[in-house]
């Protein structure tokens, strides 16, 4: 699966969606008006600008980095935190009837344009809707195999008429045979929308394992490491940990949550685990330098090693590596990009200031 397929829709299609206030493109792109310096959701009810005065961005932070401010009417930073209603309804229907075959004809009956759906899933999941359904069914089969169901029954329950077809599809999706999968740990993933762009969340039975921005350059390498070094088999799906982080992230971006409680599972080297544990201790709204963390670990000369472990953190925001800055107060590097790091620090600082009692 291509998790980095984040290309914008064709320019003409974005112009049409903007002019028609098409809610199907919520979260897919943002419109920025050059003459006003404001960026909006595609469905904003404000008077539409001339197309030649508009530029489009895939993520809200890109628009902010370009100098645009959020529209006060449609509030794009708030609205980006949820998928459009028609996508939410479709995913609920898929969860309710996982065996239902969603043909294009059935989608049209539900008022869903198959081409729009294909583009939305390619933009946010890196695969088409039908590929998502196939992989999801295989993920259910994987869970059944782990619980002791025979490979034959798992294949037929997944809708495959031949074992060879099931095995080929299984290997293509998970890069492991069904027999070997019985001894692997399923790692379920889902895509989450946030004000700073889409994120990928992955969790197993013990807790959340990965939470990263989809455009993070190191994401593919991180997933490959989880598969090859730690034996995970990756599949789309949901579990209580993924549901919990979705709720907690929304509260965090709303300034209502200062500490995450979702269970975590963080495979890594002994030193990296110690660094991550120290990151968790940094209070909300505060920062620490790499030297501060090295000293807290009893290794004051290990700032460079701390920086390396900091960059290996797979749980963005939850393990707050964004709160680590340079000794001179500079933002330094951040896997999700410095604009996002600056945004997160501003968000936390503003929330802390709002919570402080007024002095008279």
Active-site positions read 321
**Beta-sheet pairing, 232-236 with 185-192:** parallel
Residues sharing a CB contact under 8 Å with residue 357, sequence separation 6 or more, in sequence order = none
Q: What is the DSSP string of 165-219?
A: HHHHHHHHHHSS-HHHHTTSEEEEEEEE--TT--EEEEEETTEEEEEEETT-TTH
- How does strand 199-204 pair with strand 207-213? antiparallel
Q: How far apart are CA 103 and CA 129, in angstroms?
A: 10
Q: Is 119 exposed, middle or buried (0-12, 13-18, 19+ CB in 10 A)?
A: buried
Cα 105 from Cα 149, distance rounded (Å): 33
CA distance 181 to 172: 13
Q: Residues with Cβ < 8 Å from 241, sequence gap 6 or more? A: 203, 207, 208, 262, 263
């Amino acid at each position: 699966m291509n998790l980095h397929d984040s290309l914008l829709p064709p320019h003409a299609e974005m112009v049409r969606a903007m002019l028609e206030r098409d809610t199907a493109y919520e979260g897919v792109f943002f419109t920025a008006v050059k003459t006003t310096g404001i960026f909006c959701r595609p469905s904003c009810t404000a008077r539409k600008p001339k197309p030649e005065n508009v530029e489009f961005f895939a993520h809200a932070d890109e628009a902010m980095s370009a100098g645009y401010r959020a529209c006060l009417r449609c509030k794009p930073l708030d609205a980006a935190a949820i998928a459009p209603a028609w996508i939410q309804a479709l995913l609920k229907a898929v969860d309710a009837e996982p065996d239902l075959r969603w043909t294009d004809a059935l989608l049209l009956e539900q008022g869903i344009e198959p081409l729009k759906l294909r583009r939305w899933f390619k933009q946010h999941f890196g695969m088409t809707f039908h590929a998502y359904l196939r992989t999801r069914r295989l993920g259910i089969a994987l869970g059944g195999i782990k619980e002791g169901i025979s490979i034959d029954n798992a294949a037929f329950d997944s809708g495959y008429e031949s074992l060879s077809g099931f095995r080929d599809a299984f290997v293509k999706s998970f890069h492991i045979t069904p027999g070997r999968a019985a001894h692997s740990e399923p790692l379920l993933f889902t895509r989450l929308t946030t004000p700073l762009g889409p994120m990928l969340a992955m969790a197993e039975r013990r807790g959340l394992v990965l939470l990263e921005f989809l455009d993070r350059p190191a994401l593919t390498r991180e997933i490959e490491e989880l598969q090859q070094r730690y034996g995970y088999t990756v599949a789309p799906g949901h579990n209580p940990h993924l549901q919990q982080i979705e709720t907690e992230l929304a509260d965090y971006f709303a300034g209502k949550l200062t500490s995450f409680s979702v269970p975590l599972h963080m495979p890594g080297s002994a030193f990296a685990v110690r660094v991550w544990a120290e990151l968790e201790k940094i209070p909300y709204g505060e920062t620490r330098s790499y030297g501060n963390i090295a000293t807290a670990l009893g290794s004051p000369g290990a700032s460079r090693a701390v920086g390396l472990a900091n960059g290996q953190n797979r749980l963005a925001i939850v393990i707050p590596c964004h709160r680590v800055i340079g000794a001179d107060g500079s933002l330094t590097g951040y896997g999700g990009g410095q604009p996002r790091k600056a945004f997160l620090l501003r968000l936390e600082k503003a929330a802390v200031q709002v919570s402080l009692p007024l002095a008279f």
